[in-house]
Amino acid sequence: MAEQWLRQFKLTIQLQKGAPEALDLSQFKIYFRIGQATRDTPQAAEIYIYNLSDDTMNKLAGNDSENKDTIITLEFGYKGSPLETIFKGQVFQFRRGRDNPTDKWLCVLAQAGEHLKNYGVINQSIPAGTTIDDAGKVLNKEMEKYDVVTGEVPQLSDQQYPRGRVFFGSLYNHMEQFYTENDIVFDISDGMFTANTIFGHLDKAEIIINRDTGMVGMPQLTTEGLEVTCLLNPKLKRGVRINVDMKNMQTESYDIAYEQQEKDQVFKNPNKATNTDGIFIIQSVEMVGDTRGTECYSNLVCTALNATVPKSGVSIKAVD
């Protein structure tokens, strides 16, 4: 993405659950914040749409903001490049308010995989002799019934179960248990399920992050990983490798509180928490944008390839 200028947005919201009609709201002022708190939580979005008429608000949210589970899609791109989906999920709440006497807004709170996480159920059994990889495929096939498609997933073991196994109850809970058993972390964002090994990465091209490709400020090494801010780029997703310009990396001070010395120093030591090539794996992505303002950023938390990684923090299991 050589020329990151003349931003383009497209926001559509389904009018009723299961209905084909959707409203295109791309011409309004929109402010959004999209992110994921941990590896284990689906992508969530908070989107503000400004100065809609009361009729339009009621059409989207219902007279008493009772509409739920409708599909919302936000796409983004720059002039000369195609629009790419940066969020697709289900609405779970509408809020109404205003910033001042003249500017009112409709806030949409949505989550990717909402139907899967809250309503997904499974009632399947697999016979003895089924491989672990085939068991994963059974779960993934059930998942696709809830508006989540399967993306890149690693090949699992061909070891066979000596006895049959029953999947019954919450589909999401069974997925968490199954993939944890096999040292796999998964991600649900943009309406897509992807997975990779705990210290692995997606099989996608490495993305260079420097001042010529949109880096904003300087990379900051923290206990949780390397924090990097750049111009919003839809290709920056969890599990993707990036090559960061480390010339101006900022290191963090060690904790000088009583009895805290040396407890977190290894994760702030640039010789152990980074590598000479500056290659990192994205663990957390937050996207912030304003269609009529200056904000349009991707905020990343990354861990270095083949380096010491934090045992807690947003890149592992949310904040302590």
| CATH number (domain holding residue 50) | 2.40.30
| Same-domain check for residues 77 and 123 | no
pLDDT at 315: 47
pLDDT at 307: 67
pLDDT at 277: 80
Query: What backbone torsions phi and psi does residue 138 show, to the nearest 5 degrees?
Result: -65, -45
| Same-domain check for residues 134 and 100 | no
Residue 250 lies in a domain: yes
pLDDT at 319: 35
| Same-domain check for residues 34 and 94 | yes
pLDDT at 320: 33
Which one of 170, 197, 224 terminates a domain?
197
| Same-domain check for residues 107 and 121 | no
Residue 317 lies in a domain: no
| Same-domain check for residues 300 and 213 | yes
Domain count, the chain: 3
Name residues of the chain where pLDDT drops below 50: 1, 314-320
pTM confidence score? 0.83
Residue 86 lies in a domain: yes
| Same-domain check for residues 187 and 173 | yes
| Same-domain check for residues 252 and 290 | yes
pLDDT at 18: 82
pLDDT at 317: 43
Residue 310 lies in a domain: no
pLDDT at 96: 95
Cβ atoms within 10 Å of 138's Cβ, excluding its own: 18
| Same-domain check for residues 190 and 284 | no
Q: Which residues contact residue 4 at a Cβ distance below 8 angstroms, ignoring those fewer than 6 apart?
A: 78, 213, 214, 231, 233
Domain residues for the domain of 240 are 207-304
| Same-domain check for residues 272 and 299 | yes
